[in-house]
A and B are shown apart, each in its own frame.
Chain A
Amino acid sequence: MTEFCQFVLIGLVTGSLYALIALGYTMVYGIIELINFAHGDLFMLGSFLALQLVITIGVAATPGSAPAPPAPSTGAAVLAIGLMLVAAPVFCAALNAVVDRAVYKPVRAAPKLAAIVSAIGVSFIFMNMGLFWFGPVDLNFPSLVPNTNLLDGTDLRFTYKDLMVVVVTIPAMVLLTFFVRYTTLGKAMRAAAQDPTAARLMGIDVDRVISATFAIGGALAGVASVVYGLYFNTVGYQMGFQNGVYAFTAAVLGGIGNIPGAVLGGIVIGLVRALGSKYAGEEWSEALIFAILIIILLFRPTGILGARTREKV
């Protein structure tokens, strides 16, 4: 039983990380019905910026040069984490908003396929940028959060690292929900999502609202990228695809466009991955995720929490 609880715990922690990335998908989809294929790669670039930052301030070594610097003091580590948590979201938000203006806005009137294909194109370009930035090798991300067990004495393991994920992701999700529900911009977003034309008639600058959505989605990806780096301690230019697929799956599983749904979807994926590795074997755990996705969609074609929309004729 303890063992089962341990795996549930792992699943919950990694799942909330996937959920954080999934939120960016879901928000953008909710408003312009675009599957933003580039989101995972944006997340990757965010983590690269964070890594670049810790290298610049001397907390981590330049890749390839040896030996590694001594472990930073607690103060330096806290400072570095704080810096990253500001810089990466800002960078990702700005980049995402710029891409929206430059790439997606001009094709907004065209069929939906045009935007999706453009997103695939952006994803390719981001990936290539990552490749030029740090090269093809996986990189070590410094372990700034201690790895001590908080539940010492029990058979469970819950470290500061796990705590960090929870402490960052849950407030981020709560804030986002409040933001979308109660602020003016949040209301404008929902209005634009429901009916862009009507929203425009009501005096909402829909393009600005869409840009803001991209920026917020990007900022969430930035936060997620820092937490991811600190938690798993590896970043590489290819990590965007895998995490993007998980996050996208999470968003669809929960009902794409639905914020609580994305969180739920992320957690389901984390749990399936952890428990699948334990009980079905590591090599099948990922196939299991997609199998469950397909099964759920067969019975609830719009996801777990997705609204059943009637088709427009």
Chain B
Amino acid sequence: MPRTGSARGQTDTIFNGIKMAIEEYGGQIAGMKIVYLDWDDADASSQSWTSELEKANATKAIADPDVVAYIGPYNSGAAKVSMPLLNEEGLLQVSPAVTHTGLTKKVPGGDPTEPGVYRPSGKVTFGRVCPADDTQGPLAADFAKDELKAKTVFVMDDKELYGQGVAGLFERRCKELGLDILGHESINVKQNEFGALMTTVKGKNPDVVYFGGTTQSKGGQIAKDMKNVGLTCPLVVPDGCYELAFITSAGEENLKNCYVTMGGIDPSKLTGSGAEFVKKYKEKFGNDPEAYAVYGYEAAKVVLEAIKKVGKKDRAEILKTTLATKDFDKGALGKWGFDENGDTTLQNMTISKVEGGKFKPVKIVDRK
């Protein structure tokens, strides 16, 4: 996971979640010591994940016989690098945050070689505990139509695996719903301002602007440039922007009319064992968990439960047991399991606004 760079706030909290899960077992299961090694896949000069480091992490994990599970990565693009490597060796990989749909199943209209290319061994070795983008993108489109009363939308993306994927799913659903797509532009994330682009968008006068991208791919600047050119319609962004860094970079006053979606449930809206987790987290680390902390916790928990069941250091057994998990309720998210693709059976989404420097959920949608 990128432990350097601006995604760091988010990965810190995932890390904390994982740590909590391990501590709950006293760092020990069936006489084996459980150690979590924190491997960075980002370097300081690019400040985001690099394929070299992600690959190095995966090969390191494979070469170390003591490693029985690989929790990560954070970015969908990085998963493309490590998945085939880990798959070939049959090492379990569970990601708390990777949401690109094609990693686990075929996307209608998407790349036909997916997900087969990530599974050279033909078996499923990758699981994720967060809902994929095929939940988030379409539900955001429903939201735009039903709640924001939009008839026309303008779609933008950052051209990254994740952003482009979720923007495509959003656009597809919009077409199904009969919304008018006024245009689709990709930005260059190295660029510092988008005044000209936003002026173009303004000329088309959309009811809603959707940006498929992350904080790191200039989500904040888009919000600001919208304001600068006098575009007042709502902006909808996916969970790549669901982190405090997004508010820091955009400035709260520029996010008055911005909706952030997130696959899964916001920590503040969790009930039962989830609320318990949030409380414990606050006590331990002194601040609110970010959105994906609970998924870090959940990912570690499901792996650790499987290790406990297997009771020995056996990669193949642990892999099988983990991905066979059904009706898992020992974590914080309620009852769920992995389906045959390694996806979670949870299919809900939170839509939040920004208020008082924090995300405030306005709506929780469940797709059944």
Contact = CB atoms under 8 A, between A and B. Distances in A.
A149 interface: yes
A142 B254 CA distance: 10
Nearest to B9: A137
Given A136-B6, A232-B192, A234-B192, 11 more contacts: A63-B248, A68-B357, A138-B6, A138-B220, A232-B195, A236-B249, A274-B195, A277-B197, A282-B185, A282-B194, A282-B197
B181 interface: no
Contacts of A140: 220, 224, 248-251, 254
A157 B229 CA distance: 8
A14 B252 contact: no
Nearest to B357: A66
Contacts of A197: none
Given A137-B248, A283-B185, A68 B196 contact: no
Chain A interface residue bracket vs B:
35 or more
Contacts of A141: 251
Contacts of A236: 249
A52 interface: no
Interface in A137-191: 137-143, 147, 149, 157, 159, 161
Contacts of B6: 135-138
The 5 closest A-B pairs by CB, nearest first: A66-B357, A140-B251, A138-B249, A277-B196, A67-B357
Contacts of B224: 140, 232-234
A137 B230 CA distance: 25
B271 interface: no
A139 B190 contact: no
A64 interface: yes
With a 10 A CB-CB cut-off, give which of B203, B228, B248 has the most chain A CB atoms.
B248
B8 interface: yes
Interface in B189-215: 190-197, 199-200, 203, 215
Given A232-B192, A239-B192, A243-B192, A283 B357 contact: no
Nearest to B220: A138
Contact of A285 (B4, B196, B227, B356): B196
Given A14-B193, A66-B356, A283 B159 contact: yes
B263 to A, nearest CB: 23
Interface of A: 3, 6-7, 10-11, 14, 63-68, 71, 128, 131, 135-143, 147, 149, 157, 159, 161, 232-234, 236, 238-239, 242-243, 273-275, 277-278, 281-283, 285-286
A71 B253 contact: yes
Interface size grouping (class) on chain B: 35 or more
B44 A131 contact: yes
Nearest to A6: B199
A141 B188 CA distance: 21
Interface string B229-266: 11000000000000011011111111000000000000
Contacts of A10: 195-196, 199
Interface of B: 4-6, 8-9, 44, 47, 159, 185-188, 190-197, 199-200, 203, 215, 218, 220-221, 224-225, 227-230, 244-245, 247-254, 356-358
Contact of B188 (A63, A147, A282): A282
9 contacts: A147-B230, A234-B193, A239-B192, A281-B185, A282-B185, A282-B196, A283-B159, A283-B186, A286-B191
Contacts of B253: 68, 71, 143
Given A68-B252, A137-B249, A139-B249, A282 B187 contact: yes
B119 to A, nearest CB: 31
Of listed A66, A139, A238, residue having the most chain B CB within 10 A: A66
Contacts, number: 124
Given A140-B220, A282-B197, A242 B251 contact: no
Contacts of B358: 66
A192 B254 CA distance: 49
Contact of A277 (B5, B200, B247): B200
Contacts of A68: 251-253, 357
Given A7-B199, A10-B196, A136 B4 contact: yes
Contacts of B252: 66-68
Contact of B47 (A149, A157, A238, A275): A238
Nearest to A273: B196
A281 B249 CA distance: 26
Nearest to A70: B253
Contacts of A131: 44
A283 B187 contact: yes
B4 A142 contact: no
Nearest to A149: B230
B125 to A, nearest CB: 32
Contact of B230 (A157, A232, A243, A277): A157
A142 B196 contact: no
Nearest to A275: B196
A148 to B, nearest CB: 9
Nearest to A141: B251
Given A136-B8, A140-B251, A157-B230, A234 B196 contact: no
Contact of B251 (A142, A243, A273, A282): A142
Given A66-B252, A143-B251, A278-B200, A242 B190 contact: yes
Nearest to B253: A68
Contact of B196 (A161, A242, A278): A278
A157 B6 CA distance: 34
A67 B47 contact: no
From A3, A14, A65, A238, residue with most partner B Cβ within 10 Å: A238
Contacts of B188: 282-283, 285-286
B214 to A, nearest CB: 11
A234 B249 contact: yes
B209 to A, nearest CB: 14
Contacts of B195: 10, 14, 232, 274
A37 to B, nearest CB: 14
Contact of A138 (B196, B199, B221, B228): B221
